[in-house]
Structure 1
């Protein structure tokens, strides 16, 4: 009998980081759907106020004390982790979930977090626990495009993915981007994640709304798309003006400065004071174009395009779709990508998503 055989739709589950911008959006939508997550985070005032408003249980704790963290997670069948930067928070939460036999989900886009999750695959299998980071915009749409292109071209050797979005950053995403700039660019070459300069490759791409200049970025698919598809060479692109590309390339020269801890603290503190996530009206007007291109050794090419809802609406719907799946199903434990867990069709089933077109 599986350790998770007693799981059902009444499974007790938690949103950690419910006091953050995206965590709160997910919590509010979960309640609208009749779900009752436990809301948790380190900010007592914010977590308890939101829990009172939504009629939910609240828990207040940080992630530094392993014993207390484990005690707080025990009794929950699933944790949806929304507190970034995930480079600092994902490892202790994954460990607590494994020890508490709780499924782990998060909304990260950080390559290192995806790679750490995969390193826990055998432990997760043994525990009967699903570990699936990246169940938001990072990386659901691009991961599903990657899976669909692999199905369309099984012998693909090269994969390029990308998206064109007008959504502005939440504070957490902005802080993560500051960390990413200090670490430089990333691509996958011959199956290995390789460090490259920021804006390492530039090309023109039609993401779905006309051809635009685009540059490579160190997006999570550099990790996840390989685990989803086995394609050995992967790059991820976003549109960028000539000026934006020049700025990114200039940042390569000051990366050592950006990596200093006190500079990171100063930049993140400023973000905390000045960056506010988009309101509902702005979110409703910010759809996203998603693109992918697979090539094989013969030079044949297949291209996929998809239009989705805005970044934050997609994150809410995708995260809760995966939660709902795990509340009802009993998949084999292990480390998953979103497309490996729910299939390439996941993104097209989300509100605001159109059909995926492959040419």
Structure 2
């Protein structure tokens, strides 16, 4: 395993006018589970190919344990990769597939036997080691593909290239949990590349959000959700994403925009607001963090302490927002007027975070 460093790393394809990746700086610790998360075109595949040794950075460097490996092949870096679709030899048994990476490097028979036993135990696939891939489920095939990636004991890094894309939805959670357990047990450095925020946030110790060839923010799942340092992260992480309003709409000064999660509201919504203006009270004063709007739609998501709980979409003077919490006992209908009080928000200038703001 290795500490991995990206130092001012950029890449431009031959003939292109713009860089696909620009000035990336990132530190991934030895044994860390890290995710690269971004939409299509963000630069994930290009970065993956640089990490695996298929591409060489145009500028900057990629280092393993402080050594520049930018121009080394993936084989010389001891990098293993798991793809979207399992790559297995159909004519070989599970055990023979697991042994193949070791045999190609002329490992001795004792090491091969020990590694196969160890991997089969860790991945809980000992009962299928004699079977051929054609007899396995897709879930089992992907486990074997992961086992192949872990076969060599001194692997520097395992790259997971959207490994759950082809897996049935009902088994995705199980495979993701297995991968996370194995990563933690073996303390192997794993980099999980995906466009799916659920996969990234439930697998990784830290996540790097990519957009337009740059890393917008790196942090723990909790940091990305609770304190996005860029508005893009607030939009991209969460379902639904963050609400954004002009700061003045919430009675806030010193910042341009305010972002808040749907659940950052005080318990209970205040019905029958006296005015449509955001933050207005019957006496004309302004309550910081209060917003008034008209109900567009509601969606019940469950119950808390026997009371309905869900999402309400409001039309405000500054655009639509979604709020989440206990829905008032009386039935809400489109056009009803509500005032809500936020508990906190994040202030932004030029889409960059300035400060956290607490109301209650």
Give the TM-score normalised by the residue count of structure 1: 0.31
Higher strand share: 2
Of structures 1 and 2, the one scoring higher in RCO (CA 8 A, sep 6+) is 1
Higher helix share: 1
Give the TM-score normalised by the residue count of structure 2: 0.30
